[in-house]
Amino acid sequence: MELVSRIKLIEVLLEVNQPDEAEIFIMELETHSELTGKDTMTLCVHLAECRYQQRRYNESLELLQPLIDKLETDNYHDAELLAKIRNIIGKVYHQTQDYNNAYYNYRKAFDYTLRFTTQNMLTAHISFNVATTLLRRGNPEDARSYLQFAHDYYKDSNRLVDLAHTIYHQGISYKNSQEFHKAAECFEKAKNILEAQNELKQAIIVSQANASEVITYENPELAIKQLKNCLDAYRSLHDIPRLVHTHSKIAKIYLNQMQIEQAYHDLMEAEQIIQSHSLIESGEVAEYYKIRSSFEYRGKNHNEAIHFANMSYEFFGKIGALKDQIEVIEILVDVYEHQGDFQSALSWEKKRSELYSILFEGKGIL
């Protein structure tokens, strides 16, 4: 009984993100005389979750990949344990921005949940994780059913912060499908819940998405004003990647309004932050490159536009962000056509067609 209680305590500590405390108990139990083979594997999975929460991602993978390979080869019967392992592996890849491998592991985890006798919190978490990778790839419609399952479970369980995150991602899915009214409703609902739960940073992130992706279409001046408020908040939080992202989004709005000088100012602010903090590979920097490429194209600086577009395309390809790659290709095709280099334009058009095939026909996903 003592062993069961202590393993349960480890699970509680991990649930509230206290990996260092959980690790102490795991180490104490590793030599416990009553450990069964199942207990040993459970402790291994919990230690891998500790490593994940401690951002020691390679160590987490080193614990779990050999274990899952053996269990699946042996056709191990415990679907919940298998789902947990695949979900943690998916989370590791997600945090390292390898969305193809994240999606693969989340989907494997979700398939195991179909063997559960009853759906539970783990199912909801996995369903949510599948949805987030589908959104990152550019499949908003495919993400909806997974988000709805997570939404319903979190609502019934009164998991308000998880519910708010799910509603926020529902907003992202509607935004990506250009259903802006539904997106705005989701963003507002998510922000209200997060503010009520004192999750203020997350509420700011939702406000940023609403301003840059929804409000900008109806009231670009208001969108810029709200995004500048987000800048102030991110400065106080010292959130460097989101500072870059927000400056880039402001520049994009100015660019769409043909306010070139203002767009240039925010792009230079973003570039200065990137250089001073030695930011190299991140989604925020790749987004900056994409918007910078569009800016240079508008200014007829074609070589610069190609340079930034290629950097953006390469990174989005590494992380499996297909929709973003397609958007970058649109810029490249326009640039090459304006240069009269129709052979290069055609070559990129073929790549875009291939990516559309992967995105909408599901090729290459599993």
Q: What are phi and psi of 158, to 5 degrees?
A: 60, 35
Distance CA 149, CA 124 (A): 7
Q: Tokens in use for 164?
A: 């708010």
Instruction: Report the candidate in 309, 329, 325 with the shortest Cα–Cα distance to residue 358.
Output: 325
Q: What are the angstrom distances between the C-alpha of 58 and each of 20, 70, 93, 274?
A: 17, 19, 10, 26
Within a domain: residue 320? yes
Q: Are 168 and 209 in contact (CB under 8 A)?
A: yes
Within a domain: residue 316? yes
Give CA angle at 191 (187, 192), nearest 5°. Answer: 120
Q: What is the pLDDT of residues 213-256, one digit of tens each?
A: 999 999 999 999 999 999 999 999 999 999 999 999 999 999 99
Distance CA 241, CA 283 (A): 9
For residue 138, the model assigns a pLDDT of 85
Within a domain: residue 22? no
Q: Tokens in use for 124?
A: 């909801």
Give CA angle at 129 (154, 326), nearest 5°. Answer: 130
Q: Are 199 and 161 in contact (CB under 8 A)?
A: yes
Mean pLDDT of 36-49: 94
Distance CA 268, CA 246 (A): 12
Q: What is the pLDDT of residues 105-158, one digit of tens each?
A: 999 999 999 999 999 999 999 999 999 999 988 889 999 999 999 999 999 999
Within a domain: residue 267? no
Count how many domains the chain has: 1
| Percent of residues in the chain assigned helix, strand, coil, to nearest 5 | 85, 0, 15
Supply the range of the domain harboring residue 313.
Answer: 302-366
For residue 363, the model assigns a pLDDT of 43
Give CA angle at 356 (129, 108), nearest 5°. Answer: 30
Within a domain: residue 311? yes
Instruction: Report the candidate in 304, 291, 286 with the shortest Cα–Cα distance to residue 251.
Output: 291
Q: Tokens in use for 365?
A: 């996903």
Q: At what angle do helices 283-298 and 322-339 cross, to 10 degrees?
A: 20
Q: What is the pLDDT of residues 260-306, one digit of tens each?
A: 999 999 999 999 999 999 988 889 999 999 999 999 999 999 999 99
Q: Are 247 and 287 in contact (CB under 8 A)?
A: no
Q: What are the angstrom distances between the C-alpha of 285 and each of 11, 48, 51, 136, 329?
A: 36, 30, 27, 15, 17
Q: Quick one: pLDDT band at residue 361, thresholds 50, 70, 90? A: low
